[in-house]
Amino acid sequence: MVRTAAIVLSVLLVGQAAYGQKKPAAMKGYQLFTWQEKGHWHYSLLPGTNRERTYDEITASATVIVGTSAFESELKRLPKGSEVFWQSDAPPKMKRPASGEAISIKHPSRKRIERIKALCAKLGITVTLV
């Protein structure tokens, strides 16, 4: 019983230490998709890939960050030297859901873009608007 408790405590301590640490570097950079929904900006930051992203990948609740402040916190977890490719539109062949309202992927205002780019410059992250 004591041994089990010690193992559980060790796992919790390791997990707590890992929380908030930097993300691993993405070989092909990161793809950023943004859209506005119900007055809030949504951000989906995904590791780069050679294939086109699906609607489900971009909008999966595990990858979507709501709000610019929360997104800026996520940017701080990227390794210095990372590249972010900020998509202005959905991939051309991306199938949208048959039911429900589809999101409209787009860049936010120039002011919001400049704020995020300034933070990235401070963090050593390159941002390219695509």
Report, as an integer, the average pLDDT of 19-28: 56
**Residue-level pLDDT at 74:** 96
Q: Which one-letter DSSP state was computed for residue 97?
A: P
- The domain segmentation of the chain, as residue ranges, is 25-129
Report, as an integer, the average pLDDT of 68-90: 94
> Is 0.85 surpassed by the pTM of this model?
no
In this predicted model, which residue has the larger pLDDT, 51 or 30?
Answer: 30
Question: Would the pLDDT of 9 be above 90?
Answer: no
pLDDT band at 12 (very low <50, low <70, confident <90, very high): very low
Task: Classify the C-alpha dihedral 84-89-95-99 as positive or negative.
Answer: positive
